[in-house]
């Protein structure tokens, strides 16, 4: 299966979280594809209480970065997608938001863009900065932008995954020791 010119498997498997970006905006057309992908994520009981604040201004991204502890790189991203979910509405809110965010990052990858999630540590600060109603939780942000050209002397950090046989059990959980 192919999505947007890139093999779907490749778009997923080769996705790495990258935090260094070129100073270049994302076209409205590509941004809309990314947002459409988040919109189509299924939600528990189809409640659809996830919302996104698209933050492109420097001032806005500075505020977003300030609400995390490991998010200074958001200041350099072209856009920050702030995921909000109604505190009463989601059946499994983290799962709902996770599906939305991963859809966004996979389509961004297929479009040649880099992205990374950022955890929000000070949700009230972020709600205040972006006028988000108090009844919405804002646990996660995704920063997206064109990948920076990295010199060979400073390759980006990527984290190995555990082997598939250490992660997957078939039929029942077996003792692997
Ligand atoms: C729930 C969650 C929260 C994360 N929070 C942050 C964060 O606050 N700042 C950050 O730079 N990366 C954050 N990350 C990115 C992880 O560090 C990254 O997914 C992991 O190290 C794998 O990186 P890789 O895909 O480049 O190998 C988060 C990822 C997840 C899934």
Residue 69 DSSP label: S
pLDDT number for residue 152? 67
pLDDT, the chain, mean? 93
Condensed to tens digits (0 to 9), the pLDDT of residues 122-162 reads 999 999 999 999 999 999 999 999 999 877 666 667 789 99
The CATH superfamily assigned to 2-167 is NADH Oxidase (3.40.109.10)
pTM: 0.94
Q: Whose CA is nearest to atom 3 of ligand 1?
A: 119
Residue 177 confidence class, pLDDT cut points 50, 70, 90: low
pLDDT number for residue 104? 98
Q: Whose CA is nearest to atom 19 of ligand 1?
A: 17
The CA 86 to ligand 1 mean position distance, Å, reads 23
User: Cβ–Cβ contacts within 10 Å for residue 60, how many?
Assistant: 18
In the numeric block, which tokens belong to residue 131? 């006028």
pLDDT number for residue 43? 96
**Does 163 have pLDDT greater than 70?**
yes
* Percentage above 90 pLDDT, the chain: 86
Sequence spans of domains, the chain? 2-167
Nearest in space to 144 (alpha carbons), one of 104, 101, 114, 109: 114
Q: How far apart are CA 22 and CA 164, in angstroms?
A: 34
The CA 36 to ligand 1 mean position distance, Å, reads 23
Alpha-carbon distances of 52 from 6, 34, 48, 139, rounded to whole Å: 25, 11, 12, 12
Condensed to tens digits (0 to 9), the pLDDT of residues 9-65 reads 999 999 999 999 999 999 999 999 999 999 999 999 999 999 999 999 999 999 999
Q: Whose CA is nearest to atom 6 of ligand 1?
A: 118
Beta-bridge mates of residue 133: none
**Does 4 have pLDDT greater than 70?**
no
Ligand 1 atom closest to Cα of residue 18 = 26
In the numeric block, which tokens belong to residue 83? 């995921």
The CA 166 to ligand 1 mean position distance, Å, reads 21
């Amino acid at each position: 299966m192919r999505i947007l010119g890139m093999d779907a498997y490749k778009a997923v498997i080769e996705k790495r979280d990258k935090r260094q970006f070129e100073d270049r905006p994302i076209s409205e057309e590509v941004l809309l594809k990314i947002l459409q992908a988040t919109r189509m994520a299924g939600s528990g009981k189809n409640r659809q209480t996830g919302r996104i604040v698209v933050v492109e201004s420097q001032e806005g991204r500075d505020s977003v970065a300030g609400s995390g502890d490991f998010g200074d790189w958001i200041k350099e991203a072209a856009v920050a997608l702030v995921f909000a979910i109604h505190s009463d509405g989601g059946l499994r809110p983290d799962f709902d938001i996770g599906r939305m965010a991963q859809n966004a990052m996979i389509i961004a990858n297929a479009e040649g863009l880099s992205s990374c999630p950022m955890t929000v540590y000070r949700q009230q600060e972020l709600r205040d900065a972006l006028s988000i109603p108090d009844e919405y939780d804002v646990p996660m942000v995704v920063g997206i932008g064109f990948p920076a050209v990295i010199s060979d002397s400073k390759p980006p950090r990527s984290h190995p995954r555990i082997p598939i046989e250490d992660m997957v059990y078939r039929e029942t959980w077996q003792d692997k020791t």
